[in-house]
Structure 1
């Protein structure tokens, strides 16, 4: 019986071992960016056959994809090596784990220090963003500042755009991706702190009218026209709609 039990336990242990190694491979790609099979094998201490087996499994599961390695300068002979990168689905798996950790940490802050401590954390989180964006915004013409802010946000992964508002006048700053949407769903202080930064950077009162965290397809912020621009009038978007 013991021999039989061992026979059933060993495959299970092997499966767990393979799954753990594949997670290590995926995490290495997440942390180091596009990686070749050779580099991954050396980093993780895996034989060429083993790393290929795990990469094939991750490819089959849609966690990673293979691309042609970019070569800068003169290309040598032969085909360029393949590099492996995480797909959106693969990245989402890691982001979900980080979301769970972030929600737990913020819940602890709220329970031990109150909602004000969560708000303080949210403002601290976006302070670096404000510091990096301010020189770009201040160097731009007033009429271009919303577009410059959108470009800066896009560079940080928010897939942002700026356009004329079709209803309220002024402009709309749209963020088509939010890295913390799942967390902000429970802690809106993250959205509020971000909106406060937009207002300071654009030096005007802005209004968040939609968020991905609340189930909207896009985070949308209304930016009124500057009262300093000739022939333009700043108004409350609520007045225009009514």
Structure 2
């Protein structure tokens, strides 16, 4: 059914019945299933208001319906980045990755701004972008898990994409983060560690939080008394 709509364009149930050689009622059952999953949508035709009778309706593939068919986006992205790398080197690839992530950062920052739990808000924003993300509470530190990566095949060859994404996550949650695992490197999920806020009396040393230890008071040692000079009898 979806293949016919892709090949022939929007069709009515009657037109699909002719193409398939089955009854319109059977076609409608299949269409109802596609409508329920969001792969097809129903629209009135422009000719619907001409003449008499019930307006005709045509069925169109949605973006979700089209995405179910094979595509070569990864191949196109790999070809483009290989050309960028050949002409400008790794820094040029990094610039492309950062430009690509800038749009994601702008969209996610709106969702994260003002949120009480920035990690949870970011996970929701990433899920809306197709990352299927979850997060533990940021107040005690935790992990941001992305169960899907839309660019995993490309990032496997160009790690600059993962590096740019990690930098964006750090800016959005407002702290240094550390990537523990990535789908692009063969792990099951992308895992990012988000440390908790600094505690009073702690200082940042590199990527670690090191508690400051109180320095004990060192008692002063009294200087030894100078011996009195012996008096020489006159």
Report the TM range for the smaller structure's normalisation: 0.5 to 0.7
Matched, 1:105 2:74: no
* 2:171 counterpart SS class: helix
Structure 1: 4+ residue segments shifted above 2 A: 36-39, 47-50, 68-71, 80-93, 230-239
Larger Rg: 2
Matched, 1:212 2:189: no
Q: Is the 8 A contact 1:37 1:48 kept in 2?
A: no
Shift of the 219–232 alpha-carbon distance from structure 1 to 2, 3 Å rule, reads: farther
* 1:69 counterpart SS class: helix
Question: How many Å separate the matches in 2 of 1:172 and 1:202?
Answer: 12
1:7-53: CA deviation from partner (whole Å, max 9, x where unpaired):
xxxxxxxxxxxxxxx5981797xxxxxxx7429x7xxxxx7634x47
Structure 1 match to 2:165? 194
Q: CA deviation at 1:179?
A: 0.6
Aligned counterpart in structure 1 of residue 35 of structure 2, from 65, 69, 75? 69
Q: CA deviation at 1:69?
A: 3.1
How many residue pairs get aligned? The number is 180
Structure 2 match to 1:18? none
Question: How many Å separate the matches in 2 of 1:85 and 1:160?
Answer: 24
1:155-195: CA deviation from partner (whole Å, max 9, x where unpaired):
11110000269xxx721000000110000000010010000
Matched, 1:116 2:91: yes
Q: Is the 8 A contact 2:181 2:191 kept in 1?
A: yes
Give runs of aligned pairs for residues 56-95 of structure 1, distance below 5 A.
Answer: 67=33, 69=35, 91=68, 93-94=70-71
Structure 2 match to 1:148? 121
Q: CA deviation at 1:91?
A: 3.0
Shift of the 186–89 alpha-carbon distance from structure 1 to 2, 3 Å rule, reads: farther
Q: CA deviation at 1:213?
A: 0.3
Q: Structure 1 unaligned runs (5+)?
A: 1-21, 29-35, 42-46, 54-63, 72-76
Shift of the 155–164 alpha-carbon distance from structure 1 to 2, 3 Å rule, reads: same
Aligned counterpart in structure 1 of residue 155 of structure 2, from 152, 164, 184? 184
CA RMSD between the two structures: 4.2
1:109-161: CA deviation from partner (whole Å, max 9, x where unpaired):
000111111000000001011111213222112xx100000000001111000
Q: TM-score, normalised by structure 2?
A: 0.62
Q: Is the 8 A contact 1:226 1:233 kept in 2?
A: no
Structure 1 match to 2:216? none
Matched, 1:163 2:136: yes
Q: CA deviation at 1:218?
A: 0.1
* 2:176 counterpart SS class: coil
Shift of the 111–24 alpha-carbon distance from structure 1 to 2, 3 Å rule, reads: farther
Question: How many Å separate the matches in 2 of 1:27 and 1:130?
Answer: 39
